[in-house]
Structure 1
Amino acid sequence: MTTPEPQPSSPQPSEPVSKDRAYRSPAGIAGGVLVLALALWLGIDALVAGDGRTPWAAAAALLFLVPLVAAYTVRPAVYANDDRMRVRNPFRVIVLPWAQVESFRSGYSNEVFTEGGDKYQLWSIPVSLRGRKKAARREDRRVAGQGGQRRGLFGGGGGGVFGAGGAGSLEDGPVRAETDKVMDELRDLLEARKAAETSQGEVTVRWAYEILVPVLVGGVGLAVLLATG
């Protein structure tokens, strides 16, 4: 009787990769969808009903405009997990392991800086000066309301805990604009994961040829048609 050979044990599954958090601009996407719908409506109408060179010009214009509009409105996104962040900008995709990220900066645009000194703009997280002003006004009302609460509770005043502007507490933290909250989340993730073993690696940059090629072809075709018309 032969003894069966021991079968090799199946490899243990590796730890699951953390799920990406996606950051996109709802206003940018909504605006892009509207512009794309209008461009497609006008372009298809010209293709179907146009005479002479009009359908060719419409096709070239669509080939040029549709990817370009999509690149700046629908395409941008930032994906972040425990190991790295992936920045999908209009014409490039940048993958940055947390160990290679030096800092974030929020001025008139939100940007990420690498340890090597490179800078990349975060197109999908636009700075809203209007949102910051609105958040500052809400923060002023919150702080003023907390002053009224304290007078009502401890000073015998008539404001009470339900005085005007008394939403939240001082412990809740200051009111922030939405995009500033997103940047705070990314900074917290960087601080927590920068030294992790799985966050090591090199920065990679890939050009979005799926956007660049049709834009170039459509632009050249449109220019030729206009020049020879």
Structure 2
Amino acid sequence: MTSPESQSPAPQPSEPESKDRVYRSVPAIAGGVLLLAITAWLGLDAVFSGDGRTPWLALALMLLIVPLVTAFTLRPAVYAGYDRLRIRNPFRVIALPWGQVAMLKSTYSNEVITESGTKYQLWAVPVSLRARKKAARREMRETADARRAMGRDDGRGSARGMGAGAGAGAGTRGRPGHVSDGPVRAETDRIMDELRGLHEARHAAPTAQGEVSVRWAYEVMGPAGAGALLTLILLLVG
């Protein structure tokens, strides 16, 4: 029999790592893919079919346009983790520990404001006033439908007596579609609600402290700058 001293201690289970929540704009991605396809079609046609300096000008314009279209459509993303919020905008990447975030603001654009007062726009979570109006109209319709349904149920309950009315009322509350789970919100507003909840839960966490870091996207700015310079030279020389 093995003595208690010779038994090795059971390994402690490690805390599972949580993956970041990733938020991106689907309409922006779709528009970016379409613009890149059009640019490639027109640019390659000019390269292979053009005369004189046209092919070189087409290449220079493609070198300028492709990085810019990618930066403003495909690149933006927001990564929300337990310890930090990472914002990938067209020309910058901002890493914000939750302890440095003062608030998340939604007006005509969605922004995060740091404790020092610096604002960073969330390009991947654009505000859609049209979506807000659509959500408000849907909320009004659902509220009106619920009130009408409750009125019909109350009328039937009164005709059947107090006991039947109580049973009908209980059934109405449990029936899906009569009582909303919450206010109808636009997609980007729901995302901001999730980010605010995560910020509130993790703002004071010891692992969510640190300094704000900002990195410029030279992988975008470099090719776009080279394309702009070549286009300008070709136009001046031409």
Task: Report TM bin, short chain.
Answer: 0.7 to 0.9
Residue identity opposite 2:196 in structure 1:
R
| Counterpart Cα distance in 2 of 1:125 and 1:65 | 23
Q: Determine which structure has more spread, i.e. the larger CA radius of gyration.
A: 2
Q: Which residue number corresponds to residue 145 of structure 1?
A: 145
Root-mean-square deviation over aligned CA pairs: 2.3
2:215 maps to amino acid? R
Structure 1 partner of 2:205: 196
**Which whole-Å deviations, capped at 9, do the CAs of 1:93-149 have from their partners, x for residues lacking one?**
000010000001111110000001100000010101110010000000011111112
1:187 matched residue in structure 2:
196
- Point out the more displaced range, 15-24 or 195-204: 15-24
User: Unpaired segments of 5 or more residues in structure 1?
Assistant: 1-10
Name the CA distance, whole Å, in 1 between partners of 2:55 and 2:12.
Answer: 59
CA distance in 2, matches of 1:64, 1:12: 54
Alignment match, 2:154: 154
Amino acid of the structure 2 residue aligned with 1:209: Y
Report if the CA contact (8 A) 1:145-1:167 is conserved: no
Query: What amino acid sits opposite 2:220 in the alignment?
Result: I
Letter in 2 for 1:54: T
Q: CA 1:53–1:193 in 2, change beyond 3 Å: closer, same or farther?
A: same
Once the two structures are TM-superposed, the CA of residue 228 in structure 1 deviates from its matched residue by 1.6
Contact 1:112 1:120 (8 Å CA) reproduced? yes
Tell me which residue corresponds to 2:47.
47
Structure 1 Cα separation of the partners of residues 178 and 215 of structure 2: 46
**Which residue of structure 2 lines up, in the alignment, with residue 123 of structure 1?**
123
TM-score by length of 1: 0.88
Matching residue's letter, 1:189: L
Give the aligned partner of residue 61 of structure 1.
61
Question: Alpha carbons of 1:13 and 1:96: their partners in 2 closer, same or farther (altered >3 Å)?
Answer: farther
Alpha-carbon distance in structure 2 between the residues aligned to 1:50 and 1:167: 64
Secondary structure in 2 matching 1:93: strand
Question: Which structure 2 residue ranges, 5 or more long, are not aligned?
Answer: 1-10, 160-167
Q: Distance in 2 between matches of 1:111 and 1:74?
A: 19
- Which of 195, 217, 224 does residue 215 from structure 1 map onto? 224
After superposition, residues 167-182 of structure 1 pair within 5 angstroms as 168-182=177-191
User: Whole-Å Cα distance in 2 between the matches of residues 205 and 176 of structure 1?
Assistant: 31
Q: Could you list the per-position Cα deviations for residues 158-193 of structure 1 after superposition, in whole angstroms to 9, with x for gaps in the alignment?
A: 9x99x9xx9734451110101000000000000011
Aligned residues with identical type, % of pairs: 61
CA contact (8 A) 2:77 2:123 kept: yes
TM-score, with length taken from structure 2? 0.85
Equivalenced residue count is 215
| Matching residue within 199, 215, 237 for 1:206 | 215
Shift of 1:47: 1.4
